């Protein structure tokens, strides 16, 4: 269907791809993964409109290949008063209207050949879209997503997450030869993520999906394209199988490299011995031996294997150190007296926010120093609005300790960072005077030196999030307010942030749909439902998620998988290859059990 051969492309300051090749066949569901800033979104845009780019290599598409695309960013048209069913029907109705108009033009056309060609093209498009069965297909799609009850709901009344799913469904219904989804899971709540998973698995066409979502990766794909360090790895199989394959290959290469280094070291020692003998005595035989051994050493060095394709690029995220008394305690293990004696950082009393109708009301809670709380709820329930009011700190129902130092991260790109300034200018504003210190600091977060001269609005979504995290890490904040902090982050960034939040001794209030972040880091959950907020133990929250959305066995297995991969990473750092081999066996066993 589509083939890429020896594609090379980049910008003046940065190469993105070097001789990458891959193919997509009919019916494959392919995940495109890679670290933040490696050019995944650029690559899919090149597939859609190759004529807009100057590149080396070939992008070969089948004749009449239609490509559909749903962007990672969706903006709902609040003024659009059609129903969900009418929204999904629009494109079909437009084509049918065009067919009727083309039919009328045939009766008066002067250029009959051109008119007939236009008419036939529209008929072909209608057939390719299965337009004659559009109504039943739409209802089938709504049923597959569990959204049948929304068919007659006005578009302006649905949540942002539901609207994002409708955009994806609308593209699916048009039956393109290849459908590209760019981070379709970003900001989706648990229910909508589940719906997205069902939509992807029920789709019979070819899919290329850019995603970092671990749940989707483990459930929805039979092919993986991994873009890293200007190269691309192509793998036919599930993501779990791919991870096992990568780690096994890395082990093989490290063992080979270790053997090569030993051989190089022995040869170097022999060359030194022979050179010393040649210096001590004049003997042409020894001289020839020196030259022969030196040639052998040069060949060994030249044919050394390069570094394994995939090296973990995990950011070194260390959040501000907090030393204030009372901020370094396990809330779950405290006595009731100790908890009450700790100082409230945030107090909310009878908060409410109104739009066309009440969205949140009777919201009251306290956040004590050292506590980590996660605000969780469905899309469109007012979580971000609540966070913004907290940040403004001018609402009569909201009180923040006036002596507390706080920092925040926004899910809206450009809300807290001036996107017209370069990364270096932003870091200078934050106190990093020298370019070298800024470069070294960015490197800790896997942000490359080339980004220093780029404006913030030129960064990828993941790079912008990492920049915000870097600024927070360089602050003296005792209280962090985080709005969807893992959105757009690659898997390594997600894991690094989870670890950093877990180890942070200060106070955290975060909005997140990331089950792993919430269940692993929050002391408790503030659940938004029925137009208010109620406190829930993290353990009870996990149980609720198991029961309503995800399979308990899968989540427990995935946690075990993460632990094994973390152990493999540590074993590699220690060159303990026997331990790596044993842990890889355990990881492969998990993969086999999932496949049964």
**417 is a domain residue:** no
- Give the distance from CA 170 to its chain's centroid: 23
In 3D space, the residue among 217, 170, 249, 176 whose CA is nearest the CA of residue 32 turns out to be 217
Name every residue whose Cβ is closer than 8 Å to that of residue 313 and which is 6 or more positions away in sequence. Answer: 35, 446, 492
pLDDT score of 301 more than 70: no
Could you list the residue range(s) of the whole structural domain that residue 272 is in?
253-302
How confident is the prediction for the chain on average, in pLDDT? 85
| Whether residue 397 is found in the same domain as residue 478 | yes
pLDDT score of 297 more than 50: yes
- Cα end-to-end distance, the chain, whole Å: 31
pLDDT score of 190 more than 60: yes
| Whether residue 182 is found in the same domain as residue 90 | no
Are 363 and 348 a contacting pair, CB within 8 Å? yes
| Whether residue 281 is found in the same domain as residue 393 | no
The pair of three-digit structure tokens given for residue 214, joined into one six-digit string:
């671990």
Rounded Cα distance, 387 and 397, in Å: 13
pLDDT score of 523 more than 90: yes
Average pLDDT, integer, range 9-31 = 90
Q: Residue 456: which pLDDT band, with cuts at 50, 70 and 90?
A: confident
Where among 157, 182, 217 does a domain terminate?
A: 157
| Whether residue 100 is found in the same domain as residue 72 | no
Tell me, what's the pLDDT at 581? 93
Tell me, what's the pLDDT at 595? 62
pLDDT score of 277 more than 70: yes
**260 is a domain residue:** yes
Q: Residue 333: which pLDDT band, with cuts at 50, 70 and 90?
A: very low
Domain of 406, CATH number, reads 3.40.50.300
pLDDT score of 87 more than 70: yes
Q: Residue 510: which pLDDT band, with cuts at 50, 70 and 90?
A: very high
More confident residue, 115 or 283: 115
Number of domains, the chain: 5
**443 is a domain residue:** no
pLDDT score of 305 more than 90: no
Average pLDDT, integer, range 530-558 = 86
Name every residue whose Cβ is closer than 8 Å to that of residue 42 and which is 6 or more positions away in sequence. Answer: 9, 16
| Whether residue 568 is found in the same domain as residue 533 | no
| Whether residue 148 is found in the same domain as residue 70 | no
CA distances from 263 to 167, 249, 259, 268 (A): 58, 21, 6, 9
**Greatest mean pLDDT among 14-23, 304-313, 381-390:** 14-23
Tell me, what's the pLDDT at 329? 39
Q: Residue 254: which pLDDT band, with cuts at 50, 70 and 90?
A: confident
pLDDT score of 567 more than 70: yes
95-129 residue pLDDT tens: 999 999 999 888 888 888 898 999 899 999 999 99
- The SS3 assignment for 102 reads helix
Question: Parallel, antiparallel, or unpaired for β 398-400 and 56-61?
Answer: unpaired
- The SS3 assignment for 71 reads coil
**323 is a domain residue:** no
| Whether residue 68 is found in the same domain as residue 87 | no
Rounded Cα distance, 75 and 561, in Å: 36
| Whether residue 149 is found in the same domain as residue 209 | no
pLDDT score of 311 more than 70: no
Average pLDDT, integer, range 19-41 = 92
DSSP string, 181-249: EESTTTT--HHHHHHHHHHHHH--SEEEEE---HHHHHHS-SEEEEEETTEEEEEES-HHHHHHHHHHH
CA distances from 161 to 35, 115, 187, 516 (A): 25, 42, 7, 19
Q: What values do phi and psi take at 38, rounded to 5?
A: -85, -10
Tell me, what's the pLDDT at 101? 92
**460 is a domain residue:** no
| Whether residue 386 is found in the same domain as residue 487 | yes
What Rg do the C-alpha atoms of the chain give, in angstroms? 28
- The SS3 assignment for 489 reads coil
**236 is a domain residue:** no
| Whether residue 473 is found in the same domain as residue 368 | yes
Query: What percent of the chain stands above pLDDT 70?
Result: 90
Average pLDDT, integer, range 337-357 = 74
- Give the distance from CA 211 to its chain's centroid: 5
Q: Is 547 exposed, middle or buried (0-12, 13-18, 19+ CB in 10 A)?
A: exposed
393-444 residue pLDDT tens: 888 999 999 889 999 998 765 567 788 889 999 999 888 878 999 999 999 9
More confident residue, 517 or 62: 517
| Whether residue 27 is found in the same domain as residue 87 | no
pLDDT score of 593 more than 60: yes
**312 is a domain residue:** no
Average pLDDT, integer, range 221-225 = 94
| Whether residue 262 is found in the same domain as residue 127 | no
Tell me, what's the pLDDT at 76? 54
**430 is a domain residue:** no
480-503 residue pLDDT tens: 999 999 988 888 899 899 999 999
pLDDT score of 527 more than 90: yes
More confident residue, 156 or 329: 156
Are 23 and 29 a contacting pair, CB within 8 Å? no
């Amino acid at each position: 269907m589509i083939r890429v051969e020896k594609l090379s492309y980049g910008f003046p300051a940065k190469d993105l791809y070097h001789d990458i090749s891959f193919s997509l066949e009919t019916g494959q569901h392919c995940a495109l993964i890679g670290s933040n800033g490696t050019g995944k979104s650029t690559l899919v845009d090149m597939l859609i409109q190759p004529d807009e780019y100057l590149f080396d290599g070939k992008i070969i598409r089948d004749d009449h290949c239609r490509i559909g695309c749903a962007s990672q960013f969706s903006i709902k048209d609040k003024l659009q008063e059609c129903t969900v069913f009418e929204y999904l029907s629009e494109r079909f109705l437009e084509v049918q209207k065009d067919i009727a108009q083309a039919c009328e033009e045939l009766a008066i056309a002067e250029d009959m050949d051109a008119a007939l060609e236009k008419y036939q093209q529209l008929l072909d498009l209608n057939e390719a879209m299965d337009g004659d069965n559009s109504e039943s297909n739409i209802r089938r799609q709504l049923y597959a997503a569990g959204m049948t009850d929304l068919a007659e709901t006005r578009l302006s009344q649905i949540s942002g997450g539901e609207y994002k799913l409708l955009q994806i469904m609308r593209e699916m219904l048009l039956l393109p030869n290849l459908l590209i989804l760019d981070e379709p899971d970003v900001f989706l709540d648990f229910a909508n993520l589940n719906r997205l998973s069902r939509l992807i698995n029920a789709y019979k066409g070819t899919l290329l999906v850019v995603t970092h979502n671990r749940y989707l990766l483990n459930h929805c794909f039979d092919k993986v394209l991994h873009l890293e360090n200007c190269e691309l790895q192509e793998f036919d199989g599930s993501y779990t199988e791919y991870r096992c394959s990568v780690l096994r290959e890395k082990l093989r290469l490290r063992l080979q490299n270790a053997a090569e280094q030993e051989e190089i070291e022995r040869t170097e020692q022999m060359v030194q011995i022979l050179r010393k003998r040649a210096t001590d005595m004049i003997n042409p035989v020894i001289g020839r031996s020196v030259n022969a051994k030196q040639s052998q050493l040069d060949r060994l060095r030249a044919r050394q294997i390069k570094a394994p394709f995939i090296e973990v690029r995990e950011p070194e995220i260390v959040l501000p150190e907090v030393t204030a008394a009372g901020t370094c305690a396990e809330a779950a293990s405290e006595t009731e007296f100790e908890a009450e004696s700790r100082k409230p950082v945030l107090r909310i009393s009878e908060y409410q926010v109104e739009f066309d109708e009440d969205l949140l009301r009777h919201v009251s809670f306290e956040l004590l120093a050292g506590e980590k709380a996660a605000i969780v709820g469905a899309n469109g329930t007012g979580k971000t609005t609540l966070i913004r009011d907290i940040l403004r700190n001018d609402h009569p129902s909201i009180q923040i300790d006036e002596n507390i130092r706080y920092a925040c991260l926004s899910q809206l790109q450009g809300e807290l960072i001036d996107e017209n300034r370069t990364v270096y200018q932003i870091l200078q504003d934050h106190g990093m005077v020298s370019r070298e210190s800024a470069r070294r600091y960015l490197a800790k977060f896997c942000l490359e030196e080339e980004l220093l001269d780029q404006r913030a609005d030129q960064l990828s979504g993941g790079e912008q999030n990492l920049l915000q995290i870097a600024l927070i890490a360089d602050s003296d904040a005792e209280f962090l307010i985080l709005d969807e902090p893992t959105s757009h982050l690659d898997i390594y960034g997600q894991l690094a942030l989870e670890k950093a939040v877990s180890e942070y001794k200060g106070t955290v209030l975060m909005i997140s749909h990331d089950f792993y972040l919430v269940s692993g880091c929050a002391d408790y959950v503030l659940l938004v439902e029925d137009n208010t907020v109620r406190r829930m133990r993290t353990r009870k929250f996990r149980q609720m998620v198991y029961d309503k959305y995800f399979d308990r066995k899968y989540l427990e297995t995935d946690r075990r998988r993460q632990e094994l991969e973390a152990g493999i990473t540590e074993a590699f750092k220690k060159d303990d290859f026997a331990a790596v081999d044993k842990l890889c066996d355990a990881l492969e066993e998990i993969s086999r059990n999932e496949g049964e």
